[in-house]
Structures are given as structure tokens and as C-alpha cells.
Amino acid sequence: MLKHLDAISDSIGTRNVVLELISTDIDPKRKSPKKSNKAALKNWSKKSSVKAERVNYTAEFIVDSDFGVPGAIAVTNKHQREFFLESIVIEGFVSGAVPFPCNSWVQGERIFFSNKVTNLERSKHLITI
């Protein structure tokens, strides 16, 4: 029953799995890490019935040129059922692909951190979120 409710809400365009990038750079005005727009996973409803060991999804983010390197990613699951998230790889940054190993079930909101090494000079400005 819950799977059918999730499928219906996905088919009418509800953004049920949403991602948001969190930069290693601080926004000087807000004194907190810079954040991207919230981006929904594409084609969730079409791929949710696929019977495979792994299924790949995509999402598109819009960030300013001074966004910096993603250091964390917030994943929000608005579905009724949890799902297992193996990993996320963010591409398109000058610094190269940014991997986020997850290996976790997601129900509600979770924050995952990159395992990419951060410049030590910049890391002294990072704050706990």
C-alpha cells in the first residue's frame, strides 16, 4: 500500500527525494556554509520498480561560480518507505568529481559528508552543522 502511495505522489510530480549541496566555503553574509538549490532525483517513479542490485539516478544542481567544493550533501526522503543509498558522486566541479560514500538507509533527512581531502588552510573555517 505504501509503495503505491509513493508511486502516485511521484507520478504527479511531487518532489519526494530531494538533495541539497553544502559547500566547504562559508557565506560571509550569513556566516554559514553556502548551499545549493534543492534538486529532486529524476525519474524516481520510473526506476523504482526496476529489479536490480543497483539503480542510478540523476539530479541537477545550480550553484554560483564561487560556491566552492561540496563538503556535505543533505538527502531528504519524503516517501513513506526508507531506501538504501550506497553512494553519491557529484560531477561538474573544477576540482573534479566529489564522492559521498553513504551506505545507509534514508528515511526523513540525512546528511552525508565527502571523503575528499579538504585543504587544511580552509578547514579551520569550517563549522559543525
Residue 87 falls inside a structural domain: yes
Q: Which domain holds residue 83?
A: 2-48+56-123
Q: What is the domain count for the chain?
A: 1
Q: What SS3 class is residue 113?
A: strand
Contact 49, 55 (CB under 8 A): no
Q: What is the pLDDT of residues 64-100, one digit of tens each?
A: 999 999 999 999 999 889 999 999 999 998 889 999 9
Q: Which CATH number do you get for residue 28?
A: 2.60.60.20
Residue 129 falls inside a structural domain: no
Residue 65 falls inside a structural domain: yes
Residue 128 falls inside a structural domain: no
Per-residue pLDDT at 88: 96
The structure's pTM equals 0.77
Hey, which bits of the chain come out as E strands? Answer: 17-27, 32-35, 39-40, 70-77, 83-90, 98-106, 108-113
Residue 99 falls inside a structural domain: yes
Per-residue pLDDT at 109: 96
Q: Which residues of the chain have pLDDT under 70?
A: 1-15, 47-50, 52, 117-129
Contact 33, 25 (CB under 8 A): yes
Contact 70, 21 (CB under 8 A): yes
Per-residue pLDDT at 121: 54
Residue 106 falls inside a structural domain: yes
Per-residue pLDDT at 34: 95
Dihedral sign of CA atoms 111, 114, 117, 121 in order: negative
Residue 74 falls inside a structural domain: yes
